Amino acid sequence: MQQMKLLQSLYQQRALGYRYFDDIKSVPFENSDISDMPSTLPDLQTYLSDCSLCNLSKSRKHIVFGEGNPQADIMFVGEGPGELEDNSGRPFIGRSGELLTRIIENVLMLRREDVYIANIVKCRPSANRAPTEEEADKCKPFLIKQIEIVKPKIIIALGATSYSYLTGDMNAKISRVRGEMINFGTSKLMPTFHPSYLLRNPSAKREVMSDMLKVKAIL
Ligand code: URA
């Protein structure tokens, strides 16, 4: 709440003509001020329901909070909602969502409702662009709180944008980092290709399959 108020006041000051000397930098995982946010997913969703911390709030139809098992062992983190997700309020329901569901069912041998699915940003960036650093910084504390509540054993970062904003490694190449599990707080993090990349490059499914088998092996 405190952080939300601070950000709102910074926004108002900017609207009045004040300028920052520096960009607001990524909120680091350890220092995110999330302790005064609600500690259940439904309460956190309500808390966020009229969020206007960044410009994405102006054009969104729905906040895409995330969905799935609140005690999932696996949490997928994508980039941000597309048009279908914005229309419905649910993550990954288009073609990339169908592919993600197939990976969950056919490789991890789980049901979609057994895992938790969220995104770096909860509102749709226009024209399916990647979220900016500022948008991701505003939204990240809510994702970190979701991770704290769900406590997944493994977070699967879908694509470079998700990996970079989660870890702060902004120059990472997904083709280089994918497949290597790293520690992420009390969870592990496995970077892999984003399903939309797989739709364009079906031959990369082989690598994703190998990444998912590593995930399955430590469940
Ligand atoms: N792509 C994403 O990264 N997230 C969604 O929810 C849908 C498409």
Supply 11's token pair: 């926004």
Mutate-to-test residue for ligand 1 from 112, 115, 135, 196, highest number of ligand atoms within 8 A of CB: 196
195 lines ligand 1 (CB under 6 A): no
% of the chain with per-residue pLDDT over 90? 84
Residues in contact with 106: Cβ distance below 8 Å, sequence separation at least 6, in sequence order: none
∠ Cα 32 72 170 (to 5°): 40
At 6 the pLDDT is: 64
| H or E element that contains 118 | strand 116-119
Q: By three-state DSSP, how is residue 21 classified?
A: coil
At 9 the pLDDT is: 59
Spatial contact of 181 and 190, defined as CB atoms under 8 Å apart: yes
Q: Which residues in the chain show pLDDT less than 50?
A: 17-31
80 lines ligand 1 (CB under 6 A): yes
At 65 the pLDDT is: 98
Spatial contact of 114 and 152, defined as CB atoms under 8 Å apart: no
163 lines ligand 1 (CB under 6 A): no
**Measuring CA to CA, which residue among 92, 56, 87 is closest to residue 76?**
92
73 lines ligand 1 (CB under 6 A): no
Domain 2-23+37-218, CATH 3.40.470.10 — does that match? yes
Q: Where are the domains of the chain?
A: 2-23+37-218
